[in-house]
Amino acid sequence: MDGRIEAGFRYRFRELLKLVGAKRLDFGVDLLLGRGRERAAREGESLGRALAGLYEETRQKVKRRVEVTGCSFGEVPWERFSEEGPPRFLCDPSLGGLARWLRAAGYEAFVDDAIPGHRLPDEALRRGHVLLTTEAEVLLRRIVVDGSLLVVWVPSALTRKEQLGMVLRDLDLDLREARCMACGGGLVATAKDAVFPRIPPRTAKWLDEYFICARCDRLFWRGTHWQRIARTLEQAAAS
C-alpha cells in the first residue's frame, strides 16, 4: 500500500516542482518523499496523511512563487478553469462518495461502473473531463504524461471531506450552486404549491423554498440536512 501511495505523491510532487523549473527534479521529489516518511514516523500518523500535509505546504509555496514571479514552466492547473468554464469530472468507482460531494459543491461529477478501469483515462479524454482516480498506475499512461489528460490522483487514505478539499485547492475551485448529489442534475426552484403533496407535513409548516432536480426529479429543500452539508463544504473549501 505504501508503495502505491508514494507513487501517487511522487507524481504530485514532480508536477509541482516542474512548474517552478526545478533543476534537480528527481532529487527534489526524493527529498520531499523522505520528509514525508520522517513526518509519519515522528507524528505517528499514516504515510498517506503525512505526505498529504507536506504536499499541501509545497503546493502553497509553489503557487505563491508563481503568483509573485508571474512565471511558470508549464500550464498551471489552478488557472485552467473559470466560473464560466468549470471542470467536469469522471471518477473511478472507488471515488463515488467524492463524486457526490463534488456535486454538492456545484460540479458535475460522473461515476460509470460500465466503463472498465483501464478505459477510464481514454473515456475521460474523449469527454473532456478531469479524471479523478486513486490508481497510481494511471499516472504512467502516455496521455497523462504528455499532458493531454488532466488527472488528479486522490489518496484513498484521506476522508471524503479531505479528498474534496484537496481537489478544490488543486484546481483553485470555489463552491458553486449545489447540484443534485444523487445524479448531478441542476436544481430548479419550484413553487411550493406545485410539489406540496411530496413535502413531509412537518417540513411544509416551516419552509416555503423548494427545488427539483432537472435530471432525476428529486425534491430538495434547505432543511437541517442541507445546512449540515453546507457546513461540511465550507470546512472542506477552507481547510
**pLDDT attached to residue 82:** 87
**pLDDT attached to residue 157:** 86
Distance CA 136, CA 14 (A): 14
Distance CA 233, CA 103 (A): 11
Distance CA 152, CA 120 (A): 13
Task: For residue range 40-72, list pLDDT tens digits in order.
Answer: 999 999 999 999 999 999 999 999 999 999 999
**pLDDT attached to residue 75:** 85
**pLDDT attached to residue 1:** 65
Judge whether residue 231 has pLDDT over 90: yes
Distance CA 121, CA 92 (A): 10
> DSSP for the chain?
-HHHHHHHHHHHHHHHHHHTT-SSHHHHHHHHHHHHHHHHHHHT--HHHHHHHHHHHHHHHHHHHHHHH---SS--GGGS--SSS---EEE-GGGHHHHHHHHHTT--EEE-TTS-GGGHHHHHHHHTPEEEES-GGGGGSHHHHTTSS-EEE--TTS-HHHHHHHHHHHTTPPP-S-B-TTT-PBEEEE-HHHHGGGS-HHHHHH---EEEETTT--EEE-SHHHHHHHHHHHHHHH-
Task: For residue range 130-164, list pLDDT tens digits in order.
Answer: 999 999 999 999 999 998 999 999 999 899 999 99
Q: How confident is the model at residue 79 (pLDDT cuts 50, 70, 90)?
A: confident
Judge whether residue 86 has pLDDT over 90: yes
Task: Show Cβ contacts of residue 41 under 8 Å, excluding neighbours closer than 6 positions.
Answer: none
**pLDDT attached to residue 9:** 96
